[in-house]
Structure 1
Amino acid sequence: MAADDISRGEAERLRGLDDAARVARTFEVIAGRGELWVWGDEDEILFTEDARRRTLLPIWPHATVARLENEGDVPGEHAIRIAADVFLKEWLPQLEDDRADIAIFPVEENNAAVLTLAEFHSRMTAALRLN
């Protein structure tokens, strides 16, 4: 387990939180640690679609919860750490080109929230200022 990771038991507890609590926890942790987690392999990042066929990039506040959600689906895939400032400056413009939104802390295909890139940027910027 990485030094900045959480135990499986703590990850299971966080996965059991309601949607609003998972959203709050995600922004709190990203602001506090300056990082977030996505899922993918050496070549690609995992995107999903919702029922409205929007392209979504799932993000998690901890590697362990990302692993619990995805592990075993495709060999070679793993949690990928992204610095929050890099995500805001480099990833968001690319996601805009891809016309993707952000899926916050999905658990069993239930997103805690789906935010537009502008909404995510606004909330993340505010959370980073508070930290």
Structure 2
Amino acid sequence: MSYILTDADKTAAQTLRDDERFNHFVNKVCEHDEIWILTDEHGCMMLTSDDEEDCIPVWPHADYAKEWAVDDWSQCKPEAITLKVWQARWVPGMEDDELLVAVFPTTDATGVLVEPRELQDAFTRKQKLGRHN
């Protein structure tokens, strides 16, 4: 179940720099054990970066994903993926398909583009730190 996102929290997160939004994303995903994507009847929404890299955008909460579901994406709906499923199925699948992850894009920024394993490593580091606190 997703956490409650206030308008103030949403506004604050969206004004963060890309690297800060990346860290916010990792923290929230580890805390709530879910990653949000957009899907339609054809599957997961994908983007092509300015560098012609195919990527899957991900968000820490359904409300951020919903903000992307406009215009060409208006048929898309937010869908949660547990961190466990992401790690077991999505990371290897994205690596096999040579896809990147667009971490926490906003309506005016692509987000941080990373390899799936790099994002996985960030989750692992965060989880290890969390156990030591």
TM, length-normalised to structure 1: 0.87
Aligned to 2:29: 30
| Contact 1:7–1:64 (CA under 8 A) maintained in structure 2 | no
Q: SS where residue 110 of structure 1 aligns?
A: coil
Seen in structure 2, the aligned counterparts of structure 1 residues 83 and 52 have a Cα distance that, compared at 3 Å, is same
Q: Please tell me the residue identity of whatever aligns with 2:84.
A: D
Aligned to 2:9: 10
Q: CA deviation at 1:129?
A: 2.3
C-alpha distance in 1 between matches for 2:72 and 2:7:
18
C-alpha distance in 1 between matches for 2:70 and 2:51:
26
Deviations 1:4-51 (A, max 9, x none): 241344223211111121011000000111111011124410010111
Residues 107-116 or 16-25, more deviating: 107-116
1:125 and 2:124 matched: yes
| Contact 1:71–1:78 (CA under 8 A) maintained in structure 2 | no
| Contact 1:41–1:76 (CA under 8 A) maintained in structure 2 | yes
Seen in structure 2, the aligned counterparts of structure 1 residues 33 and 81 have a Cα distance that, compared at 3 Å, is same
C-alpha distance in 2 between matches for 1:13 and 1:69:
17
Q: Please tell me the residue identity of whatever aligns with 1:96.
A: E
Segments of 5+ residues of structure 2 without an aligned counterpart are none
Q: SS where residue 43 of structure 2 aligns?
A: coil
C-alpha distance in 2 between matches for 1:75 and 1:108:
14
| Contact 1:8–1:64 (CA under 8 A) maintained in structure 2 | no
Matched residue count = 130
- RCO higher in 1 or 2 (8 Å CA, sep ≥ 6)? 1
C-alpha distance in 2 between matches for 1:8 and 1:73:
25
The residue correspondences of 1:1-131 to structure 2 (distance < 5 A) are: 4-71=3-70, 73-131=72-130
| Contact 1:88–1:121 (CA under 8 A) maintained in structure 2 | yes
C-alpha distance in 1 between matches for 2:63 and 2:115:
25
Q: SS where residue 107 of structure 1 aligns?
A: coil
TM, length-normalised to structure 2: 0.86
Residues 13-22 or 80-89, more deviating: 13-22
Spell out structure 1 runs of 4+ moving beyond 3 A.
71-76
